[in-house]
Structures are given as structure tokens and as C-alpha cells.
Amino acid sequence: MVHKNSVEAFQEIKPDIEKRRRAILDVYEKEGRPLTDREVCCKLCFTDMNMVRPRITELIYKGLLRECAERVKDFLTEKMVRTVEFNTKQLDLF
């Protein structure tokens, strides 16, 4: 069971989450190529990866984005990371 305070807090930030999802989709649309989470974060001028990472994952679950088979080395951490792109199969349904 989710605590009442948690539900209220979520309702307060929900509009910001929706705006951030839209902004993330706009970045993918503008770039027209697979991007890492950090690239999206930088394009939106955010300093915290947690501003985009959960929203990108949600958009993957919703079927609007998809992880690519290609993984690349993150330019900052030099670790292998996912790349994500529009799920064109899902977009064809609209």
C-alpha cells in the first residue's frame, strides 16, 4: 500500500513529469538518431541524470522509445551505456 503522503506528493509533481517526458521526446525527434541518457540530459541542460533516466525508462515501457542493440561508451564515465531511439513500429500506429 502506498502512503497517502506519497500519493499527494506524486500528484503535485505529475505535471512536471509530463512536461519532462514531452521534452525528452522532443529531443529524440529533433536529433533523429539514437541517444544515450547523458546526451538527452545535456541537450536539456540538466545537471542530474535522474531528471531524464526515469522518464526515458517510462517512455520505453510505454512503447514510444526503444533500446537499440548498439551500446556505446559514455563520454564522461567511459562505461558502456544504452542508446535509445524512437520506436518507429509503435509510431506507425498513430
Distance CA 28, CA 22 (A): 10
User: The domain that contains 62 carries what CATH number?
Assistant: 1.10.10.10
Stretch 43-64: mean pLDDT? 94
CA distances from 56 to 5, 26, 45 (A): 25, 12, 16
- Say how many residues make up the chain: 94
**pLDDT at residue 3 in the model:** 67
Residue 8 has pLDDT above 50, yes or no: yes
Q: Give the predicted TM-score (pTM) of the model.
A: 0.80
**Which of 73, 91, 25 is CA-nearest to residue 83?**
73
Mean pLDDT over the full length of the chain: 86
Q: Buried b vs exposed e over 45-58: b needs ≥16 C-beta within 10 Å? A: eeeeeebbeebbee
The residue range of the domain holding 78 is 4-91
Number of domains in the chain: 1
Distance CA 80, CA 68 (A): 13
**pLDDT at residue 73 in the model:** 92
Percent of the chain with pLDDT over 70: 81
